[in-house]
Amino acid sequence: MNLTSISMKRLAITMTLTGLLSQTGFAQSDITDAQSNGEWTTYGANLASHRYSPLDQINAENFKDLEIAWRLNTDLLGPRPDALFGMTPLYVNGTLYATVGMRRTVVAMDPATGELLWMHREDEGERGAAGARQGAGRGLSWWKSEDGTEERLYYVTPGYRMIALDPKTGERVASFGEDGAIDLKENFDQDLDPLDNGIGLNATPLVVGDVIVVGAAHRPTTDVRSRWTAKGYVRGFDIRTGERLWIFHTIPLRGEYGYDTWNGKAEENGNAGVWAQMSADPDLGLVYLPVEMAAADYNGYNRPGDGLFGESLVAVDVKTGERKWHYQFIHHGLWDWDLPCAPILFDMVKDGKTIKALAQPSKQAFLYVLDRETGEPIWPIEERAVGQSEAPYEETSPTQPFPTWPLPFDRQGVSRDDLNDLTPALRAEAEQVVERFNMGPIFTPPAIGRDGGPFATLMLPNAVGGANWPGGSFDPVTNRLYIHSHTQLMELVNTPEDMVPFNRGPDGEPQDAARPAGLGRPGGLGARRPSTFLQGSIPLIKPPYDRITAYDMNTGDMLWQKTHGTTEDRIRNNPALAGVENLDRLGSYGRIFIGTLTTASLVIAGEGAVHTNENGETVALLRAYDKDTGEDIEGRIEMPARQTGSPMTFMHNGKQYIVVAVTHGGANVGAELVAYTLP
Amino acid sequence: MAYHAQNNHNQGNSVLLKSTAAFLPSLVLCAGMVTSAIAQSSSLSLMQGAFSEAQAVRGQELYFDNCLQCHGETMSGVDQAPPLAGPQFAANWRGESLSALVDRMTTMPPDKPGQLNREAYVDLLTYILWFNELPLGTSDLTTDREVLSAMPFETPGF
């Protein structure tokens, strides 16, 4: 064991916590100076994406005393409110920086009062409105030169341009690109109409030394018509000048590694972008790219083969973009299980050796743990046989990778054992409903749509997870990983029996009368779909519906798993559950995307859905958990709306704050940034 | 004409909007019905069948072309786009007026908002209503803003 880089104090703490010397996987000290100073200088708190702060002013004893310091309603800070508001701000140099509103306006704020100090607004006109990702996005990035003389903020706009700003004034830095902006639709190794609405990005660009790395997002490709989309290549730019340093072709060009996995169809397929946040190891000089699927989401007719590097994690050299290794987690994907979030980088000790590792959370609820130098799995990942599509045109992959360890953090596959059994009547109703659907284990492909056949295949995890873009958080002192996930039934729609090419040509013109499978026929609505909710509002599957899982990454053991959300009114108050006990905390059901924040002693996350409290107010709780045991920390902190952006924390003028984005939704959007502090 | 005696005032309203010169005599007959149609709009409920099958089919076509890509075949939402049916959608919009829903729809899709005409957005709305288990009626849902403002969104069951 190499003790030189670890302080004895940290070792002592770790030994006390874990108890066994032989099992001590001490964490390499990758807490940055910024984190130690109580700053939050990058989306994931550090380049390892830990979402961790060593601050402890807010702790288990006083969490219950938290009160709102200020609230900023962002609805008017753009042309329309942003109903998604999935942003995490930055705190650096005593200032809070955020992106807000549909136009992704950048604001600087006084962290103690929320007062706006400056605002930077890019009016991109038609091009901005045509972007594939509108809204505030995930946030922005910060850079400081090595000699400390220059600082900048960076973000990618809805119109897919990258802007460099002076953090003091919000003015563009003229020496970057053209007058402070680079057009990301140029220099992209493909021809893109400047007004093309197929591409955009809401993730923050990744600053690694003097390189800034940018991915791409696309319009969703639910139907096969959308095959001819742009390709989501990844690029690295010089952070001072904006000159393109490298490009990585996530769909390889002829002659490049992986091209042959497309069976000659690489040119006519698109997407495979990195819309997720990325991580980097500056010591190794590597950037880790979580790649999404190629188009289309549920149909691989146009892309026979494994299709590298779709649904793969790729490690590239930060200076050259050269691929060092890759690992594909899903071959020929049919479930929209893009890699959605940054891998968490950490060090561990296994068989007496220190390994630089990473853990990649996924929508499908697997946590893939690899050596981040070589891409080799830490624990075996097995290729196992999976269900095959009946459609003659779909070349399903015969196998998919299954990590043998750690265990998945959420439910996979659907069977009768998953049916709601809160009452015998509900169970009976559930049994009737599933008769009209197909069910199966994970990686069951879409069923064929036939008259009298199943309406769809019930699927877990959902196409939106499991886990999703928030990813997880990590405690580097104890090597613990925390991940929120939700359990939401998905109807995987049927695929047509006879595949008429649902294609548009490269010029966008439909080549035939394209119709999606499974729903109405032209001229008719078709039969009403059976609902996957019992008695109007109770999920077909049994709870819990969302959870936070803690892993010990020294061993891969699952330490604890807690149901997270308070039961929503529409489930709680359904007459079919009258008299049933223990209904208070079944978890939040639905599309919720929750990021956790880890501090010195707490795991903190807000609820993704609201409920009515004793006073008749609509609230969502900001919850805190004991890091070791998962027990609820005492305190009932009510937020005015549900969490939509992942929380962060910082120390400002001797006070610790927690800031989180919440959104009311419905007709009055109410996208707010809320700050909590002790009295 | 006998059908004006029916209770469905909405039908009277939409007949007026769509009537041609050939029906001029019935225009005169309908005028009183239209006034009372608007006056009684607050009693019109989605539960009683506020849109026609033909309209919902038009909405379905529009949905396939404009909305399906993001909101999904089962309106469950995909990635960025929220669901348009089911309890989560109902919880967000219950009690809000159909007019507010249409206003929100005109901001869609986010990268080319307001591209359809008002009639098309209302047709789309009826398909969404049908998907939310609301019953079919015998005539089209109006595009009239006043009438829609007085109609709250609700879904059957709990």
pLDDT higher at B61 or A249: A249
Distance CA A250, CA A266 (A): 10
Measure CB to CB from residue A524 to each of B57, B69, B110 and give the nearest one. Answer: B57
Query: How many H-runs (helices) and E-runs (strands) does chain A carry?
Result: 5, 41
| A537 neighbourhood in chain B, CB within 8 Å | 87, 90, 157-158
Tell whether B112 lies on the interface with A, counting CB pairs under 8 A.
yes
Weakest-pLDDT range from A56-65, B25-34, B92-101: B25-34
Tell whether B148 lies on the interface with A, counting CB pairs under 8 A.
no
Q: Where are the beta strands (DSSP E) in A184-302?
A: 199-200, 206-208, 211-214, 217-218, 234-238, 244-248, 279-281, 286-290
CB within 8 Å: B158 and A574: yes
Distance CA A273, CA A198 (A): 12
Residue A396 has pLDDT above 90, yes or no: yes
- Coil vs helix vs strand at B28: helix
pLDDT at B8: 37
pLDDT at A296: 78
| A226 neighbourhood in chain B, CB within 8 Å | 69
Measure CB to CB from residue A525 to each of B69, B82, B130 and give the nearest one. Answer: B130
Distance CA A234, CA A660 (A): 29
| B53 neighbourhood in chain A, CB within 8 Å | 525
Measure CB to CB from residue A667 to each of B81, B100, B155 and give the nearest one. Answer: B100
| Distance (Å) of CA B152 to CA B47, B99, B101 | 11, 9, 10
pLDDT-based confidence at residue A226 (cuts at 50, 70, 90): low
Distance CA A297, CA A306 (A): 14
CB within 8 Å: A491 and B74: yes
| B157 neighbourhood in chain A, CB within 8 Å | 535-537
pLDDT at A19: 39
Distance CA A460, CA A465 (A): 8
Residue A312 has pLDDT above 70, yes or no: yes
pLDDT at A546: 97
CB within 8 Å: A516 and B81: no
Q: Burial level of B53, CB count in 10 A (0-12/13-18/19+)?
A: middle
CB within 8 Å: A591 and B77: yes
| Distance (Å) of CA A252 to CA A189, A224, A307, A308, B57 | 11, 21, 9, 8, 42
CB pairs under 8 A between A and B: 115
Contact A171, A179 (CB under 8 A): no
Residue A504 has pLDDT above 60, yes or no: no
Q: How close does chain B come to A603, measured CA to CA in Å? A: 26
Q: Which residues contact A647 (CB under 8 A, 6 or more apart)?
A: A88, A595, A597, A604, A605, A606, A622, A658, A659, A660
Nearest CA in chain B to A296: B69
Q: How close does chain A come to B10, measured CA to CA in Å? A: 22
| Distance (Å) of CA A591 to CA A43, A238, A604, B43 | 22, 37, 20, 34
- Coil vs helix vs strand at A314: strand
| Distance (Å) of CA A104 to CA A81, A138, A155, A218 | 10, 10, 9, 17
Q: Which residues contact A191 (CB under 8 A, 6 or more apart)?
A: none
| B86 neighbourhood in chain A, CB within 8 Å | 531, 533
CB atoms within 10 A of CB A582: 9
pLDDT-based confidence at residue A427 (cuts at 50, 70, 90): very high
Q: What is the pLDDT of residues A565-606, one digit of tens each?
A: 999 999 999 999 999 999 999 999 999 999 999 999 999 999
Distance CA B91, CA A24 (A): 48
- Coil vs helix vs strand at B113: coil
pLDDT at A500: 55
CATH architecture type of domain B46-149:
Orthogonal Bundle (1.10)
What's the start-to-end Cα distance of chain A, in Å? 45
Tokens 């309209």 appear where? B55
DSSP alpha helix (H) spans, A388-479: 424-434
Q: How close does chain A come to B42, measured CA to CA in Å? A: 20
pLDDT at B17: 36
Contact A237, A162 (CB under 8 A): yes
pLDDT at A517: 46
| A102 neighbourhood in chain B, CB within 8 Å | 110
What's the start-to-end Cα distance of chain B, in Å? 41
Specify the pairing of strand A597-598 against strand A557-563: unpaired
A219, A293, A573, best to mutate vs chain B, most B CBs in 10 Å: A219
Distance CA A169, CA A156 (A): 18
Taking Cα atoms as reference points, which of A125, A154, A139, A355 lies closest to residue A237?
A: A154
Complex ipTM tops 0.85: no
pLDDT at A126: 87
CB within 8 Å: A464 and B86: no
CB atoms within 10 A of CB A563: 17
Distance CA A73, CA A574 (A): 33
Instruction: Work out the percent of chain A whose per-residue pLDDT is above 90.
Output: 79
CB within 8 Å: B156 and A536: yes
pLDDT-based confidence at residue A449 (cuts at 50, 70, 90): confident
Q: How close does chain B come to A348, measured CA to CA in Å? A: 33
**CA angle, A253 as apex, A252 and A259 as ends, to 5°?**
55
pLDDT at A3: 39
pLDDT at B30: 44
| B101 neighbourhood in chain A, CB within 8 Å | 667
Residue B5 has pLDDT above 50, yes or no: no
CB within 8 Å: A222 and B157: no
pLDDT higher at A325 or A528: A325
Tell whether B115 lies on the interface with A, counting CB pairs under 8 A.
no
Q: Where are the beta strands (DSSP E) in A494-580?
A: 533-534, 538-539, 546-552, 557-563
| B93 neighbourhood in chain A, CB within 8 Å | 666-667
Distance CA A348, CA A410 (A): 24
Contact B55, B140 (CB under 8 A): yes
Averaged pLDDT, A619-626: 98
Q: How close does chain A come to B26, measured CA to CA in Å? A: 31
Q: How close does chain B come to A102, measured CA to CA in Å? A: 9
A591, A593, A611, A618, best to mutate vs chain B, most B CBs in 10 Å: A591
Q: Crossing angle for the helix pair B118-131 and B98-105, nearest 10 degrees?
A: 110
Distance CA B20, CA A112 (A): 65
pLDDT at A223: 60
Nearest CA in chain A to B79: A464
Tell whether B77 lies on the interface with A, counting CB pairs under 8 A.
yes
CB within 8 Å: B56 and A525: yes
State whether the Cα torsion B109-B113-B117-B118 is positive or negative. Answer: positive
| B87 neighbourhood in chain A, CB within 8 Å | 533, 536-537, 570, 589-590
Nearest CA in chain B to A592: B82
Q: How close does chain A come to B1, measured CA to CA in Å? A: 30
Tokens 């007004």 appear where? A195
CB atoms within 10 A of CB B119: 12
Contact A543, A586 (CB under 8 A): yes
CB atoms within 10 A of CB A424: 8
CB within 8 Å: A130 and B133: no
CB within 8 Å: B78 and A515: no
* Continuous segment of H or E residues that includes residue B124: helix B118-131
pLDDT higher at A214 or B36: A214
CB atoms within 10 A of CB A533: 22
* Mean of per-residue pLDDT scores for chain A: 91
pLDDT at B79: 74
Q: DSSP class of residue A176?
A: T
Tell whether B65 lies on the interface with A, counting CB pairs under 8 A.
no
Q: DSSP class of residue B6?
A: S
CB within 8 Å: B83 and A132: no
Contact A405, A462 (CB under 8 A): no
CB within 8 Å: A525 and B158: no
Distance CA A501, CA A377 (A): 39
* Mean of per-residue pLDDT scores for chain B: 76
Residue A50 has pLDDT above 70, yes or no: yes
Measure CB to CB from residue B79 to each of A456, A464, A531 and give the nearest one. Answer: A464
Q: How close does chain A come to B86, measured CA to CA in Å? A: 8
**What helix, strand, coil percent values describe chain B, rounded to 5?**
60, 5, 40
CB within 8 Å: A522 and B86: no
Measure CB to CB from residue A463 to each of B61, B78, B93 and give the nearest one. Answer: B78
Tokens 């319009």 appear where? A219
CB within 8 Å: A223 and B69: yes
CB within 8 Å: B68 and A464: no
Going from N- to C-terminal start, the domains of chain B cover 2-39, 46-149
Q: How close does chain A come to B19, measured CA to CA in Å? A: 24
pLDDT-based confidence at residue A667 (cuts at 50, 70, 90): confident
pLDDT at B64: 85
Q: Where are the beta strands (DSSP E) in A525-654?
A: 533-534, 538-539, 546-552, 557-563, 597-598, 602-606, 611-612, 618-626, 637-639, 642-643, 648-652
- Coil vs helix vs strand at A470: coil
| A218 neighbourhood in chain B, CB within 8 Å | none
